[in-house]
Chains A and B, each alone.
Chain A
Amino acid sequence: LAKTTQPISMDSYEGQEVNITCSHNNIATNDYITWYQQFPSQGPRFIIQGYKTKVTNEVASLFIPADRKSSTLSLPRVSLSDTAVYYCLVDYGATSGTYKYIFGTGTRLKVLA
């Protein structure tokens, strides 16, 4: 059964870089990796998506090693407003045999002043 795992929580200070890793051992050739941010009482919001190597946008970077069994979301210089839960999502496609779009367990990031 496909599984996506993340650390439960992380603390950081304002201005630091935060790296959150997601493990997705059963990822297949055509599966994408997407990261979402969720604030209380809101739905998850798209941050970044990647397939391999490195992707960067205005808010984050995503690092994916060659074997693609894990990925790392990097948030540069976090602020208090980045306190949220971060989820990775893998579109397992035909690999899982049960269902697709498996969200990770979520990482609760707390940014301290």
Chain B
Amino acid sequence: ETGVTQTPRHLVMGMTNKKSLKCEQHLGHNAMYWYKQSAKKPLELMFVYNFKEQTENNSVPSRFSPECPNSSHLFLHLHTLQPEDSALYLCASSQAEGGEKLFFGSGTQLSVL
């Protein structure tokens, strides 16, 4: 148990669906992150939030929409995804942004049909 919980663990969606991924951290951290992990590729940073403010958007397509209502919760809203978006989506948190140890959740395995 890392203190970072992601739901759902698995998600299958069609290209016209709208779904959301949820991440909650119980560590009192101030920074939260979304990463994408595709098969045989390194982890790709998508978004960073620090004290609820987005500080990084790594050129992510607009069909991915993050939301951070408070320092403990992070969402990733998905709409009109493509099959190539199928991947493991990982949430992480850290005490602060920059140079800090990251704590990861177990991820949501997303399949887009």
Contacts and interface: CB of A to CB of B under 8 A. Distances in A.
Contacts of A100: 45, 48, 56, 98
Interface of A: 4, 30-32, 34, 36, 41-46, 49, 87, 89, 91, 93, 98-106
A41 B106 contact: yes
B104 A43 contact: yes
19 contacts: A32-B99, A36-B102, A41-B106, A41-B109, A42-B104, A43-B4, A43-B106, A44-B102, A44-B104, A45-B2, A45-B104, A46-B101, A46-B103, A87-B42, A89-B102, A98-B58, A100-B45, A101-B45, A103-B42
Contacts of B56: 99-100
Contact of A99 (B42, B58, B105): B58
B43 interface: yes
A9 B98 CA distance: 29
B81 interface: no
A15 to B, nearest CB: 29
A91 B98 contact: yes
A102 B102 CA distance: 13
Chain A CB within 10 Å — which of B58, B102, B105 has the most?
A: B102
A54 to B, nearest CB: 18
Nearest to B35: A103
Nearest to B9: A41
Contacts of A91: 98-99
Contacts of B99: 30-32, 91, 93
